[in-house]
Structure 1
């Protein structure tokens, strides 16, 4: 708290020189937005780690690195490709809130401009339970397209049984 006192004093001195009385509210807005985003990302990391532990995943990704450092969107599906988890930062990439995609399949993001050859490669990798990395033309909630870099892999439990698929995504 001692360090905050010096910050407050410096801010007070600076704003007094500008003849501004009080702190600009937009600073608090910017801080609040960043704080909310960080809080959501940390909650996603905790939720994914919990999912991995309860599902007895054989290998667990470093979710902190993927979400906090790389700003990746993480999507987890069941073995039938129904989305069971999506990180909160998905809304920034494609306009969908995570609850809007739960129970649906990732092909909901595809459309006319999506390359069928690439989706065939993805389907083959999924059937063979192999990892894949592709760039697909996907569709946002508002109908606009974006290039989505997807790095995905099957998730096995400690007994070697396929339990999920996980994808790390970002705008390419």
Structure 2
């Protein structure tokens, strides 16, 4: 039997420890995604949305999902909200998306968004939004009204991501 030296053992096991860090991070992201999908599914089932048409399952992987009620109060924010804005989900629930706006946010674009919401039509806009720490970022928003299977408006949903091209 070969005699193993302690220095051989140490050198061979340094890389797997780093790999565990990546694995742990990946597992946490999967847990957060699963939890987000569960919450969206509960809202969807309660209000009888056509989930396939919304394509949330695919989009939630790469975009922040915000769901508001008809008063534009945030009732759901996916876990990606923290990475993009610095706010945790519980810090945005019960507030409106106005919390992300500030002096650099275009009044003209906000007016166009308000008009689309009032008319209950989809929109895609890019805004200068503000993170919790006060830094601005370009936020690309793709939003639309959500109707139940009877055709009654129940919520608004926005898929958001930081626009790196601007």
Is structure 2 residue 76 aligned with structure 1 residue 85? yes
Contact 1:49 1:63 in 2 (8 A): no
| C-alpha deviation, 1:66, in angstroms | 0.2
Structural mapping, 1:116-127, within 5 Å: 116-127=107-118
19, 24, 27: which is aligned to 1:35?
27
Where does structure 2 lack aligned partners over 5 or more consecutive residues?
Answer: 1-7
After superposition, the C-alpha distances for 1:30-80 in whole angstroms (9 at most, x for unaligned) are 211121012211221232122112111245412221022xx1000000000
Match of 1:84, SS? strand
Where does structure 1 lack aligned partners over 5 or more consecutive residues?
Answer: 1-15
Structural mapping, 1:59-98, within 5 Å: 60-68=53-61, 71-98=62-89
Contact 1:58 1:160 in 2 (8 A): no
Q: Report the number of matched residues.
A: 155
After superposition, the C-alpha distances for 1:103-140 in whole angstroms (9 at most, x for unaligned) are 00001000000000000000000011111100000000
Root-mean-square deviation (CA, aligned residues, Å) is: 1.8
Question: TM-score by structure 1 length?
Answer: 0.84
Is structure 2 residue 90 aligned with structure 1 residue 99? yes
Question: TM-score by structure 2 length?
Answer: 0.87
After superposition, the C-alpha distances for 1:72-114 in whole angstroms (9 at most, x for unaligned) are 0000000000000000111111111011000000010000000
Contact 1:76 1:167 in 2 (8 A): yes
Match of 1:33, SS? helix
Alpha-carbon distance change, 83 to 118 in structure 1, aligned in 2, over 3 angstroms: same
Counterpart position of 1:134: 125
